[in-house]
Amino acid sequence: MYKWVRKYVQTCETCQRVKPAPSSSALLMSLPVPADCWRSVSMDFIFELPADARGHTVILVFVCRLSKMVRLATVRKSVTAPQAAQHFVDHVFRHHGLPEAFVSDRDPRFVSHFWQHLFRLLGTRLDMSTADHPQTDGQTERVNRVLEDTLRSVCAAEPTTWSTLLPQVVFALNNAVHSSTGFTPFYVNGLRHPRTPLTLLPASNLDGGEANAEDSRGLKGLRTSVKRNLLSFSETGEAVRQRVRDAMAAAQDRPMGGLILRCFKWETKSY
């Protein structure tokens, strides 16, 4: 009797269609490592920040997928697709040129006809994540989390001053050694470390980078090391999480041409 009831419950069609799956339904696939800095850029928004003096409550985040360098723009909640495109030109294009590919979630501003037309004109590509799958743009999601935590820490007493401290925060992010590359974003981009107040002390032996400038062969070797580290990080640093998820997904592996049971979801509308 018990076995019959258990089998009946496990094969209940209504439960399988309505209740969420308790495990991952697909294997993890890492995005390819870019060939150079700012060839591939991920972008996302951080919403619901305290309004600053200019009424800005949103941060538009751009991240280089090779060097992990971060560029930020403060905007209002009502930011439109053309305005977001202008911020890209102001904060990324004028410094680093045009990327070959963008990685983003399915924000309405990114899926709009304006962005699609812009990318066609510029000859670049927009790689969007699938619906309800933020892991595709996990790099920017992690940057967002670190950025929000840092802003909450430095602006705890006066939350509305976050935008005035944003330059110092993004400098700290770009001057910190990234776990996946083994270098700071500043060094990967320019082969030098920026000067800080500590490097200007008379008794300090720390150098801002000018004395250690290298030729193009050194830069090429650095980029090669960064890409090697990124590949190694993808294969080892994420291996534990991937093995767990892949083991859960392996039990659900579906052969090509096989049948699946579609999930039922409520039809929602915006008012």
Distance between CA atoms of residues 253 and 4, nearest Å: 26
Please, are residues 70 and 185 in contact by the beta-carbon 8 Å criterion? Answer: yes
Residue with tokens 């209002």: 76
Cα–chain-centroid distance for residue 74? 17
CA gap 245, 250 in Å, rounded: 9
For residue 142, give the amino acid letter: R
Domain locations in the chain as residue ranges: 30-151, 175-236
Q: Running along the chain, 271 residues long, what does each successive block of 10 average in pLDDT? A: 83 70 57 87 91 94 93 94 89 92 79 74 72 59 88 88 94 90 88 82 54 49 71 58 59 68 52 35
Residue in 186, 111, 105 with CA at minimum distance from that of residue 144 = 105
- In contact, 223 and 34? CB cutoff 8 Å: no
Domain 30-151: CATH class, spelled out? alpha beta
Model's pTM, two decimal places?
0.69
